[in-house]
Amino acid sequence: MTTIDVDVDRRGPDLTDEQWLRLLEQRATDPDAVSRAYAARARPGRILSERGSLFLVAADHPARGALASGGDAMAMADRRSLLARLVAALENPDVDGVLGTPDVVEELLLLGALEGKVVIGSMNRGGLDGASWTMDDRFTGYDAASIAANNLEGGKMLLRIDDQDPSTADTIEGCAAAVSELAARGLVAMVEPLPYHREEDGALTLLKDSRSLARAVTVASGLGTTSTHTWLKMPSCDDPGTVFAATTLPCVVLGGVPGPDPAQDLESWGRALTQPTVRGLVVGRSLLYPPDGDVAAAVAAAAAVLRAAAAPKGGQ
């Protein structure tokens, strides 16, 4: 068996048959290859780039059952395509690394795509997309011990806050414990606090007003026994000055869909990237699945936006 003939739309980057078949063979016959790859990976030795910024590509959506992108409800279900897009994104020197669950990180390791890159392990993916218990974001991925043992740079956790859902309390407690455990090992704890409201029909709405977001920032900032290694991952909004002034902790922004004009993108992202506490950008599906399939161009456009935003800060 040397070729693959699968009737799927692969508009965008792809892995070679040799890469894909080798990966499948390793998965089936050599499970220890993963631990060897973890141990051998060249680490970046820093979190911020020489420009004082951090640009990560996020790929932890599938573990929560969130597979849709654009108009394709199954876009991220095609693992070969997902991995090819991630490899293409990581080839851009401005992309500092990846945020992913163990399965995705391990596959990228086996493909040799994470040398010298920042790797943030995704920790809680239990609140499945569309489930009645979706706000119960239990820890089902990496834990602090495995992140340290596998030489990753840190862990990311989702903290969705709904004042009417008791599951939020357990998530807060779980995130606090993870922040403490990561900090005790000198590892980054990247917390994503998102305030939600449940509508009468059960639909969840992300609250992006400055009061709700600033409140979420203050809750996340106080988690754990120390905040020395805590980073916050926040969406842009109409009043970033108020939201990002609620903390001294380093923040990264959830990026939107990049266009051809970095100045326009900076405007559309609500000037969030220019805030003093904001140190970078984390983008997932909008870069990995651009409408035209040109992942490299989408990543380059986002990198240009981040560079433009970092310039006024004096390249800190």
Average pLDDT, the chain: 91
Alpha helices in 30-157 (DSSP H): 32-40, 79-90, 102-110, 144-149
pLDDT in tens, 36-82: 999 999 999 999 999 999 999 999 999 999 999 888 899 999 999 99
Residue 224 has pLDDT above 60, yes or no: yes
Beta strands in 162-264 (DSSP E): 188-198, 204-206, 230-235, 251-254
Check residue 270 and give its pLDDT.
55
- Where residue 264 falls among pLDDT bands split at 50, 70, 90? low
Taking the C-alpha atoms of residue 20 and residue 16, their distance in angstroms, rounded to an integer, is: 6
Check residue 312 and give its pLDDT.
58
Domains contained in the chain, CATH given = 17-313 (3.20.20.70)
End-to-end CA distance of the chain: 52
When pLDDT is averaged across residues 174-187 and rounded to a whole number, the result is 98
Q: Which tokens is 259 given?
A: 């266009």
Q: Which tokens is 296 given?
A: 């490299």
Taking the C-alpha atoms of residue 133 and residue 268, their distance in angstroms, rounded to an integer, is: 33
Residues 66, 13, 98, CA angle at the centre, nearest 5°? 55
Check residue 82 and give its pLDDT.
97
Taking the C-alpha atoms of residue 314 and residue 113, their distance in angstroms, rounded to an integer, is: 30
Angle between helices 17-29 and 102-110 (to 10 degrees): 120
Check residue 249 and give its pLDDT.
98
Placement of tokens 């995130």 in the chain: 175
Residue 5 has pLDDT above 80, yes or no: no
Per-residue DSSP letter, 113: -
Residue 220 has pLDDT above 80, yes or no: yes
On the 0-12 / 13-18 / 19+ scale of CB atoms within 10 A, 57 is buried
* Nearest residue to 253 via CA among 226, 267, 271: 271
pLDDT in tens, 273-291: 999 999 999 999 989 998 8
Check residue 6 and give its pLDDT.
42
Q: Residue 42: what residue type?
A: A
pTM for the model stands at 0.92
